[in-house]
Amino acid sequence: MQRILVLNPKGGSGKTTIATNLASYFASIGDRPMLLDNDPQGSSTRWLKKRKPEQAHIHGVSAFDRNTRMTRAFQLRVPPDAQHVIVDTPAAVPGQDLPELTKNADAIIVPVLPSDIDIHACSKCIADLLLIAKVRRDEHRIGVVANRVRKNTLIYQSLMRFLETLRIPVITTIRDSQNYVRAAELGVGLYEMKRYLVEPDLQEWAPLLAWLKAKEALIAPAANPGTSFANVPVPPAMPESAA
């Protein structure tokens, strides 16, 4: 099982967009992923509630909502058939909480927007991960995603120059696309939409999915000695009547 943490204490960086689209992707290829919503705003939970019964199953847990009728361990239990757990984290995570939050994460995705405020917040987030959470660079668990970018802008160029200084890999850049707005409204992910509408977006997701597959291969390589992660699985094309 792979645990994926989507983290940036800066609000509005796109954590929920990445978390929900990852959950949708894994569900669409036959996994039954768990989407753990730790954000009191409950955006991932609202997205899950919009999904239709016939859509691929995603096990959702509103971790921010403490259920007094059950133990915390039971509330957060992972279904036995879940191969991926995606954690959508809240804004303003205190630095002292990072060691506990990150200790079991196999991959930590840090989304960052192209703005001066977000660049500063990302710098502090990476520093806290390295210095407080003690996530070592040589573990290669941290990956940055440049989110909602317009590549022909000066602020994008400034963002990329900054990310180069971190010595943390920039896994991919995700463009500013209305497809994400529509997906959020419908309770779907990009891989559940008509492919011809989202093809440019899917191309930007391919490096991130490949990076996660490489991390997954390191978790228990002996369990699947013949598995190759050279190619990212792609779900079947959606019919024309789909979203």
* Domain ranges, ordered by start, for the chain: 2-221
pLDDT given at position 218: 81
- Listed residue (156, 230, 193) closest to 55, CA to CA: 193
Single pTM value for the model = 0.86
| 237 has pLDDT over 50 | no
Q: How many CB atoms lie within 10 A of CB 152?
A: 7
pLDDT given at position 64: 80
Q: Note the pLDDT tens digit of each residue in 155-167.
A: 888 888 898 888 8
| % helix, strand, coil for the chain, step of 5 | 45, 15, 40
Q: Note the pLDDT tens digit of each residue in 179-225.
A: 999 999 999 999 999 999 999 999 999 999 999 999 888 875 544 44
Q: Which amino acid is at 13?
A: S
What 3-state class would DSSP assign to 219?
helix
pLDDT given at position 42: 92
Cα 18-121-165 angle, rounded to 5 deg: 90
pLDDT given at position 81: 86
Cα 102-104-108 angle, rounded to 5 deg: 50
pLDDT given at position 164: 87
What 3-state class would DSSP assign to 243?
coil
Q: Name the residue with tokens 């259920």.
A: 67
Q: In this structure, what token pair is assigned to residue 176? A: 């500013």
- pLDDT mean over 78-83: 84
pLDDT given at position 208: 97
Q: Note the pLDDT tens digit of each residue in 86-134.
A: 999 998 888 899 999 999 999 999 999 999 899 889 999 999 999 999 9
How far is Cα 164 from Cα 35, in angstroms, rounded to an integer?
A: 31
| 231 has pLDDT over 80 | no
What percent of the chain shows pLDDT beyond 90?
A: 61
- CA 94 remoteness from chain centre: 20
| 226 has pLDDT over 60 | no
| 4 has pLDDT over 90 | yes
* 172 touches 207 (CB < 8 A): yes
What percent of the chain shows pLDDT beyond 70?
A: 86
- pLDDT mean over 32-58: 94
Alpha-carbon torsion, ordered 56, 62, 63, 66, to 10 deg: -150
CATH number for the domain running over 2-221: 3.40.50.300
